[in-house]
Structure 1
Amino acid sequence: MKRTKMNGLLSGVALACALGTPALADIKIAHVYGKTGPFEAYAKQSHEGLKLGIEYATGGTMEVNGEKIVIIEKDTQLKPDIGKALLEEAYGDDEVDLAVGPVSSGVALAMLPVAEEYEKILIVEPAVADSITGENWNRYIFRTGRNSSQDAVANAVALGGENVHVATLAQDYAFGRDGVSAFREALETTGAEIAHEEYVPTDTTDFTAAAERIFTAMKDLEGEKKLFIIWAGGGNPMGKINAMDPSRFGIEIATGGNILAALTAYKELPGMEGATYYYYEIPQNPVNDWLVKEHFARFDSPPDFFTAGGMSAGIAVVEALKKAGSTDTEDLITAMEGMEWETPKGKMMFRPEDHQALQSMYHFKTVVKDGVDYGVPELVRELTIKDMPIPIRNQ
């Protein structure tokens, strides 16, 4: 098991945040995530959710098996090399019992080998790329966040059908390419087909050239035509492409769910359908009721997309520690494989084969409501674990 001393360049990156009194803490958890950078909003939600999840699952004691919990924050700055180094620091110098994070799929892929080298668990939340629990997976990796295939299967159910032609626009990195690959595969069972794929840099703000290529590829096709956008962060491709009037070619824009701030663009597209991971008004269960009530009380706002994900990870940590009865990695792996637990989305289960959390997704239709400054994803149908045959990709 490797023990590496970090140099001084990263000394200012790690921030400690204790739940309880640090001097009494027996259980240390590293949250290694992109606090700064383009996904800062995602990171903030994820961290608040993680703390809320631990609070909820411990009944407010912040203790498991009589031992205090401490969260140590580390900022990857959305850079794979920093994420890798900080996870080494967490497992080595900080001697954390397990880690949670990161936000970015590219950072997550750099971190996976570190968990294997140190023989410590990394719970991936919310990075999405299939390869995390697919070709790059190892037995120390568990993921509470949804993966690209869960996004893809859910959106294929919502959008697919005979004589449906789909173009895709995605960012040119693991999240985007894994997402399109999984979506293409999922669409095959619906009768729909991919007509064109477009990949652009992650920081793209001008989508004119990409949109024109999509329009050229789609304009003469017969049948339903949809442009499915897979995007994380800023840039607003949906609003900018919609302003170019794709409807003149019979093309409808479609996409999955997103954080509340991003849903402002959805208001321009009433009736748009897709599938989402979470919207606070959709799940009906006691955990989500608690989350919504507490979040409004503390922050005067509803919980968002990644708040629910962070809470699911926090609850998973506590339930695993309770079930294992210790912080020993092998005991935790045994406890977590096949483990079921309740989350704001209802039941999740770690699939034993690849440690991916199986979970519900939600087919939605966008509606515009008075007094709401974003397009509301109104539930069409809950897609349960049984409704979605998610491929195992780590074989």
Structure 2
Amino acid sequence: MDRSIGVITTILLLTSTAAILMSAAPIAGAQDDDTVKVAMFALEGTPYGAWTKNGWKTGLEYAADSGTYEDSEWTAGDRTIETKTYSTYKAPSEIVSDARSAIDDWGADILVGAVLSSTGKKLASVAESRQTPYWLCPAAASSLTEKPTFSKYVFRAGRNSWHDAITAAYIQQEYQPEAETIAFMGEDYIFGQDGIDAAKSAFEDVGLDTVAIEYPPKDTTEFGPYLDRIQNADPDLVFVAWAGATEYKSMYDAMNERGMLEKLVPAVIDYYSMNYLNVATDGLYEGRTGFAYFGHGVTTNEVYEAQLSLYEDYDITPDASLAPTIPDNDVASALGSSNAPELFGGVGFATAQFVVEGVRQAPSIAPDSLIATWEGMTLQTAYGETTIRPEDHQAMRPMFVAETQVDTDSESTMYNALHGYTQETLSKEYVENHIPVNTDYEPISGLDVSIDASTDSGVAPVDVDFDASVSGGVSPYSYEWSLGNGETATGSSAEVTYENANTDGYDVTLEVTDNAGTTGSASATVKVYESAEQQEEEEGGGMSTTVIAAAVVVVVVVVVAAVFLMRSQ
């Protein structure tokens, strides 16, 4: 979620889902099924890294069976989760080196993190090459879960560019229907590019015409020339996708100088940015209705309340280091002492929930076993019901239409500070219907097991050959046969001779386990009779061949006699 300071904008019985064939490349990681090592990549030394990490660690305490925010080990079911943090506040080549080392040397089974989408792309590449699951957190560029970048090893519990775009377009339809044209500005970088691509598509789908697009360099602080060209195009609305505190403030000031703020597509972003800008513009950010993703007053369910409670227990104040720069002492004091989880805290918390639940449920911690377990998983997060869409591993979750107001509740942790209040919720189903799947990936299927038998009945002794038919899962498979007469077998086929009659049938069961620990089973029944006559009676509806033959003779005799009498008369 790159928006550091504000993007404005068979019969089978399955014990779990299985995985598709693994490639022949070696798998790195701990390979100890009782211990799962998770490498967390955070933008250490920055508020944004802290926001994510605080959400992640409180999420681990919330979701795990034991372990606290202050620990480095947690338990989930029969497994132990160990974590280690690596900083991404360094050169890209060093980040890549750290990720490889985390897997190859420390034995990481799962990677988590990346505030910046560019960092997320690099970590995704390492995850693919090392066949190691990776949860983007909070990097939001949509292309990271789309082709050609998409990898089956990459997941995301937060939103991507499309979530913002479709919610903003919905607001335009419902709240600003008179708008006909729109202009876009995004940083010339993966997050801005993806944000504008998604927004342009979403707004054009609801009937707006695009009149200008500008991509200033990421380190731009002079926005005048770009905004002037947009202003000359005279759009009704302006959508901006930008990440970065200093640049965003400069851009906002430049828009304010040109009288363009009223055209800005609003967003309920992080508390710090909203409060800083609201003070700096004498209240222009207050009373705005915009798209929202997470925040106090926006996400209001039991999971959010649990997260807030943990922040209060550990006295986590996400904006304590930033608040003093707000040019209003009362607002700075209010925000600096607030325990409300900041913007990236939501995705950190949700990611921890999915990681822990996957570790708890997976038959094994082999990569494909974890992947199979996460695909389609649904959990209650602070956003509401959240599902990992199997086709692209992107979270499908509600989005929100919210209005910014100063909190007047003296009991609130955000008292005297500006934040969002939800006015309308876009359901998970609405979101999923409006966010396209842009991959060719086929989700992992379950193990499909069946039994082919040479016969299902006979007169004792009966020789039967059984063959297993298995698809899906991760080869090679192991087979365990129970042949119903006390005998067992292994392998993909089995042979047995049933010496004794058993008209109830010998119950044959087969359990198959794939290389990821997923199991599937199938069954068959073979009936054995004492004689051919008994078999005919049982399988022919209760009459033997002799009885049937006698009945036929009687019918024939009666018919012949009747014909003879008719002719005689």
TM score, norm. by length of structure 2: 0.61
Distance 1:82 1:256, change over 3 A: farther
* CA offsets 1:83-134 (integer angstroms, 9 cap, x no match): 3222111111111111101111111112222112111100111111111000
Structure 2 residue aligned with 1:308: 346
CA contact (8 A) 1:162 1:190 kept: no
How many angstroms does 1:284 deviate by? 2.6
How many angstroms does 1:82 deviate by? 2.7
Structure 2 residue aligned with 1:81: 93
Is 1:384 the counterpart of 2:396? The answer is no
* CA offsets 1:350-384 (integer angstroms, 9 cap, x no match): 10101111111111222345586654222221112
| Percent identity between the two aligned chains | 27
CA contact (8 A) 1:143 1:357 kept: yes
In structure 1, the residue corresponding to 2:152 is in which secondary structure?
Answer: coil
Distance 1:393 1:78, change over 3 A: farther
* CA offsets 1:4-51 (integer angstroms, 9 cap, x no match): 9xxxxxxxxxxxxxxxxxxxx922100123224xxx222111111111
Is 1:141 the counterpart of 2:150? The answer is no
Question: Which letter does structure 1 place at the counterpart of 2:166?
Answer: V
Is 1:153 the counterpart of 2:166? The answer is yes
Structure 1 residue aligned with 2:388: 350
How many angstroms does 1:258 deviate by? 2.1
In structure 2, the residue corresponding to 1:29 is in which secondary structure?
Answer: strand
- Residue from 111, 119, 132 that aligns with 1:107: 119
In structure 1, distance between residues paired with 2:77 and 2:420 = 40
In structure 2, the residue corresponding to 1:302 is in which secondary structure?
Answer: coil
Is 1:285 the counterpart of 2:301? The answer is yes
In structure 1, distance between residues paired with 2:350 and 2:60 = 9
CA contact (8 A) 1:46 1:309 kept: yes
How many angstroms does 1:77 deviate by? 1.7
In structure 2, distance between residues paired with 1:2 and 1:83 = 22
Question: Which letter does structure 1 place at the counterpart of 2:36?
Answer: I
Is 1:116 the counterpart of 2:159? The answer is no
Aligned length, in residue pairs: 365
Question: Which letter does structure 2 place at the counterpart of 1:155?
Answer: A
In structure 1, the residue corresponding to 2:353 is in which secondary structure?
Answer: helix
Structure 2 residue aligned with 1:127: 139
Structure 1 or 2, whichever has the larger Rg, is 2
- Residue from 53, 57, 60 that aligns with 1:51: 57
Structure 1 residue aligned with 2:513: none
The equivalences for 1:183-332 within 5 A come to 183-218=199-234, 225-234=236-245, 235=247, 236-237=249-250, 239-247=252-260, 251-264=262-275, 265-266=277-278, 267-298=283-314, 299-300=316-317, 301-332=339-370
In structure 1, distance between residues paired with 2:90 and 2:202 = 29
Structure 1 residue aligned with 2:510: none
Structure 1 residue aligned with 2:545: none
RMSD, aligned α-carbons: 2.2
In structure 2, the residue corresponding to 1:246 is in which secondary structure?
Answer: coil
CA contact (8 A) 1:263 1:374 kept: no
In structure 2, the residue corresponding to 1:380 is in which secondary structure?
Answer: strand
CA contact (8 A) 1:78 1:107 kept: no
In structure 2, distance between residues paired with 1:194 and 1:374 = 36
* CA offsets 1:215-234 (integer angstroms, 9 cap, x no match): 1111xx6xxx2222212121
In structure 2, distance between residues paired with 1:372 and 1:196 = 40
Structure 2 residue aligned with 1:33: 42
Distance 1:255 1:88, change over 3 A: farther
In structure 2, the residue corresponding to 1:93 is in which secondary structure?
Answer: helix
How many angstroms does 1:345 deviate by? 1.2
Question: Which letter does structure 1 place at the counterpart of 2:297?
Answer: E
CA contact (8 A) 2:36 2:359 kept: no
In structure 2, the residue corresponding to 1:77 is in which secondary structure?
Answer: coil
CA contact (8 A) 1:229 1:255 kept: no
Distance 1:183 1:374, change over 3 A: farther
CA contact (8 A) 1:254 1:273 kept: no
Is 1:168 the counterpart of 2:181? The answer is no
CA contact (8 A) 1:230 1:256 kept: no
Structure 2 unpaired stretches of 5+: 1-24, 29-33, 68-73, 318-338, 409-413, 441-569
CA contact (8 A) 1:144 1:313 kept: yes
CA contact (8 A) 1:3 1:92 kept: no
In structure 1, distance between residues paired with 2:255 and 2:398 = 30
How many angstroms does 1:213 deviate by? 1.6
In structure 2, distance between residues paired with 1:167 and 1:291 = 38
Is 1:394 the counterpart of 2:394? The answer is no
TM score, norm. by length of structure 1: 0.86
How many angstroms does 1:59 deviate by? 4.0
* CA offsets 1:126-165 (integer angstroms, 9 cap, x no match): 1111110002011111111211111111111112445432
How many angstroms does 1:66 deviate by? 3.1
How many angstroms does 1:348 deviate by? 1.0
CA contact (8 A) 2:65 2:77 kept: no
In structure 2, distance between residues paired with 1:215 and 1:78 = 38
